[in-house]
Amino acid sequence: MPTDACLTNFARRDWLTDGPLNDVVAPYIEALRNQRYPDHTIRAYLGGLAHFSHWIKTDEIRMSRLDAALIKRFLHDHLPACTCPAPCYPSAASSGAALRHMLRLLPGDPSAATLTDPVAVELERFGEYLSNICGLAPVTRDRRVHHVGTFLVREFGVSTPVIAQLSAARLDTFFAELSSHLRPSSLRVVGNSLRSYFRYRALLGESTAALAASLPRIADWRRTTLPKVLADAELDAFLKAFDRADPVGLRDYAIARCLLDLGLRGHEVTYLTLESVDWRSATLTISSTKSKRVQQLPLPESTGEAIAQYLRRGRPQTVNRALFVRHRAPFDKPLGVPAIRNSMNRAFVRCGLSDRFCNTHVLRRTMATHLQRSGASVKEIADFLRHQSLDTANSYARVDLEGLRAVALPWPGSRS
């Protein structure tokens, strides 16, 4: 056991020394220090590690089973009903972060284990198809794999999935069961996941057209309302909510300009690098779009100025080439999508708009609405937003109320 300062007077040191994770503690502390985590955070993470170690020892769990599934079981099953002697560091958020760090230190990649379950093998191949052929983002891919996995396990258990055994009646029964606890919007997502899976099996030469046609079409009531966007006064208040005398404020303001001026998605901002900006030609290269295509966008003056101010006065010293990096531990890492979302949400709170707006996509919609009001066509909006289908951008045509009034027929019996 190391004699690191973080372990001095550590309340549950015995849970680490006498537990199965004793050999992990030294490299664990070293890894956190290399990422410049402060001592109080390391101590909190060690508390979560000690609690996990005590649970493994008490329940006599074999170390060979130490993987993400076991961590999930600890967080979701043990912590809510924990009866371990105090102090036992019961925070799920802190423990989850601590154990994710620990998982990276274990020898070998738990996700690289050989799959023997036929359904697991099928889902692995389907996931590769979604990533490599369809170019889906990891979150979307994992959600579709999860939905398809739920369906396949229900229908085939641990046997090899045979599409020829499926029928419209079995699909109806599956969705009838889901409808008892899922909202229509969630049912629509499940239907899209299964539709994607049937397309994948069709590429393998199987006949799935009848099954795809049997999937229920759930009404999308979102299209009955106008997109929620920031008004001009609200947009001005939002942009003034960033403290540009502070390095973090400079960074968040530059991110907001990327979201507003260019309509970037959160994950597209995450993958911007110093090389993405071509100052001479005033262009921004995006390499991590949803379609997996490299695209160039013009760099507006307001966006370029915000980025330049951040690079000159706000960006910390780092070896990472990401454009927007973390200003707190772990250092030398790009800013993640959750952090970008949180920074925008904090700005909405500061300007008093948090009751109406949240997340980053409202900024993208606001940019698209401004394009429409300036006279841009739906095709031009779709191109700028990098939509592959015009149907996705059609919602912005409904924002042009004056244009719609000009072409609308008078109501029968009304005064013309």
Model confidence pLDDT, tens digit, residues 227-240: 788 999 999 999 99
Residues above pLDDT 70, as percent of the chain? 87
Mean pLDDT, range 287-292, rounded to an integer: 65
Mean pLDDT, range 167-190, rounded to an integer: 91
**Residue 396 has what pLDDT?**
65
**Residue 402 has what pLDDT?**
54
**Residue 372 has what pLDDT?**
83
**Residue 111 has what pLDDT?**
43
**Residue 223 has what pLDDT?**
64
- Domains in the chain (CATH in brackets) are 5-112 (no CATH), 118-223 (1.10.150.130), 232-402 (1.10.443.10)
Please say if the pLDDT value at position 99 is more than 50: yes
Residues 146-170: tens digit of each pLDDT: 899 899 988 988 788 999 999 999 9
How many whole angstroms separate alpha carbon 272 and alpha carbon 8?
A: 41
DSSP, collapsed to helix, strand or coil, labels residue 85 as: coil
How many whole angstroms separate alpha carbon 254 and alpha carbon 307?
A: 5
**Residue 80 has what pLDDT?**
84
- Work out the pLDDT band at 359, boundaries 50, 70, 90: confident
**Residue 289 has what pLDDT?**
61
Angle at 251 between CA 248 and CA 255, to 5 degrees: 135
Tell whether the torsion through CA atoms of 8, 14, 15 and 21 is positive or negative: positive
Q: Give the global pTM.
A: 0.69
Please say if the pLDDT value at position 391 is more than 80: no
DSSP, collapsed to helix, strand or coil, labels residue 284 as: strand
Annotated catalytic sites, by residue? 265, 290, 361, 364, 387, 396
How many whole angstroms separate alpha carbon 153 and alpha carbon 357?
A: 39
